[in-house]
Homo-oligomer: A and B are copies of this chain.
Amino acid sequence: MKQSYEHKVQYYETDQMKVVHHSNYIRWFEECRIDLMEKGGLGYERMEEEGIICPVVSVSCQYVAMTRFGEVVEVIPKVKKFNGIRLVITYEVRDKETKELRCTGESSHCFLNAEGHPVNLKRSSPEFYNMFLKLSE
């Protein structure tokens, strides 16, 4: 099933080029990622409650077309890789109405316990492991 997350462009997200500042797309990826987990059944706040954080190890974004105030975009995530240790998600940002592509991107993540050590979700949190596995199908 193709998930999709909607974001309405805010005025404070624009810059003096009269388009959305490029750093905000990175934040939309995060919004989308967190929404994906919620739709998967386990919100990110629950992961932190279990003492596991999921920091961003790398992020990239290719800007294709500019986005303007007042527009609504949809961010389409895809779990590209998940093995319990590493998670890679790709994103497409499209205009909600025209479906015009605005940018593509990718973020990769690891999982750390409260001491900051990498963990394998398979052992540390089977519930989240299974959720990501299902999301990656």
Chain A interface residue number, banded: 35 or more
- Identify 10 new A-B residue pairs, CB closer than 8 A, beyond the known A16-B18, A22-B56: A10-B34, A11-B21, A12-B15, A14-B15, A16-B19, A22-B55, A23-B30, A44-B69, A59-B60, A60-B60
Cross-chain pairs A/B with CB under 8 angstroms, 28 sampled: A10-B31, A11-B16, A11-B21, A11-B30, A11-B34, A11-B44, A12-B15, A12-B23, A14-B16, A15-B16, A16-B16, A16-B18, A16-B48, A16-B69, A22-B26, A22-B55, A23-B23, A23-B24, A23-B27, A26-B26, A44-B70, A55-B63, A57-B62, A57-B63, A58-B60, A58-B62, A58-B63, A60-B60
